Amino acid sequence: MSNAAPITDRSTPIARTDKAHSVKAFIALGANLGEPLKQLDSAVVSLNQQKGISCIAMSKVYISKPWGKTDQPDFTNAMLEINTTLSAEQLLDILQKIELEHGRERKEHWGARTLDLDIILFGDETINSQRLTIPHPRAIEREFVIKPLADLDDTLVIGQHSIKDLLNTLPVETMEVIRDVTTYYC
């Protein structure tokens, strides 16, 4: 007779895989100092090496005119889809560490930067804490966020807005595609 506990015994904790706890999140990648495309790709490699993060796909890569503060170089932007078992705050800690490793200096709000990693969506969570606002509050105003997001999943909804509606109503910015493929990691 086997001594193994019956699998129907619910008093025994059920072993869960990481996948069972994982959340899908979207991270906006931006840079306009140094070698922006290299920094974006290097950030994705770093993120994929972190415990609790697996990269799913990186969108096409775009160049756009600076939004907000216009007297700075053009930006290179893309979107990254990940699965993560981290909390949103833990993810932010890692994003900020990777920004620093890529020479990020925080001198002025909306200023030029070697790397900016913003959490756009974290599952279906709404977060308004001291450190985090999710969905990202300015995402719906920015074609350089919405377009790469739509490359990855055009069924997404941000707050009350569907990505498809946003794409149709956003003022068209001058965006150049500099890498015309989505990169899949799994």
Task: Find out whether 139 and 157 touch, Cβ atoms under 8 Å.
Answer: no
Record the tokens describing residue 86, joined without a space. Answer: 């981290």
Determine the Cα–Cα distance for residues 93 and 110; give it in Å rounded to an integer: 20
| 136 interacts with, out of ligand A4P, Mg ion, none, CB within 5 to 8 A per kind | ligand A4P
Q: Are 80 and 26 in contact (CB under 8 A)?
A: yes
Residue 58 CB contacts under 8 Å (≥ 6 apart), including other chains? 29, 44, 78, 79, 80, 81, 182, 183, 185
Q: Which stretch binds Mg ion (CB under 5 A): 60-68, 84-92, 109-117, 176-184?
A: 109-117
Q: Does 134 bind ligand A4P (CB under 6 A)?
A: yes
Site string for Mg ion, 66-105 (x = CB under 5 A): ----------------------------------------
Catalytic residue flag (residue 104): yes
10 contributes a contact to ligand A4P by CB under 6 A: no
Q: Is 123 in the site for ligand A4P (CB under 6 A)?
A: no
Site for ligand A4P in 62-101 (CB under 6 A): 64-68, 75, 77, 92
Going by C-alpha positions, the residue among 132, 158, 134 that lies closest to residue 146 is 158
Does 41 help bind Mg ion (rule: CB under 5 A)?
no
Query: Between vectors from CA 176 to CA 171 and to CA 180, what angle results, nearest 5°?
Result: 120
Set 41, 74, 118, 153: catalytic member: 118
Tokens for 119, please give them: 């959490």
Q: Is residue 118 near Mg ion by the rule CB under 5 A?
A: yes
Nearest distance from residue 181's CB to ligand A4P, in Å? Answer: 20
Residue 116 binding Mg ion, by CB under 5 A: yes
16 belongs to the catalytic site: no
Whether 116 sits among the annotated catalytic residues: the reply is yes
CB 83 within 8 A of CB 56: yes
The amino acid sitting at 180 is: D
CA distance 76 to 46: 18
Can you give the binding site for ligand A4P, defined by CB under 6 A?
A: 30, 64-68, 75, 77, 92, 106, 109-110, 116, 118-119, 131-134, 136, 138, 144
Can you give the binding site for Mg ion, defined by CB under 5 A?
A: 116, 118
Catalytic residues: 104, 113, 116, 118
